[in-house]
Amino acid sequence: MKIPESTRSSLTLRLLQRQRERWPDLEQLTIRVRGEFAYIDGATPDSDGQVEPLFRLRYAGSATFWGFAIYTWSGMRYEDSVLPNGAAAGTPEEVLDCACGLYLRDPSAWVTN
């Protein structure tokens, strides 16, 4: 299912806002869309300014909840993942927090209330 243009715009705004609010150390965030997937890349402090894959979102008809896969450098591929609360889908902001907790080494991102 192709991601509608309005959902693409909303996704971009939501992720960039969350980056500014919670992850200022994430130097850059880019969103690429292909078919049902949105690929999110970023430049972390360890990447020397190079933009690298962080995660992939899978659109299933909802602009609110997305399936996702974290990019793993050990396997050099996207692997389906779960959020700290055990859910296999979540908001784009929750997924960004999960990925940044890993790549920016901030376990506070995984604390659930």
Report pLDDT digits (tens) over 47-104.
888 999 999 999 999 999 999 999 998 999 999 999 999 999 999 999 999 999 999 9
Give helix then strand counts, H and E, for the chain. Answer: 2, 6
Contact by Cβ (8 Å): 67, 55:
no
In one letter, which amino acid is 6?
Answer: S
Residue-wise pLDDT for 35-52, tens only, equals 999 999 999 888 888 999
Query: Is pLDDT at 113 greater than 70 in this prediction?
Result: no
CA distance 64 to 46: 31
Query: Is pLDDT at 3 greater than 90 in this prediction?
Result: yes
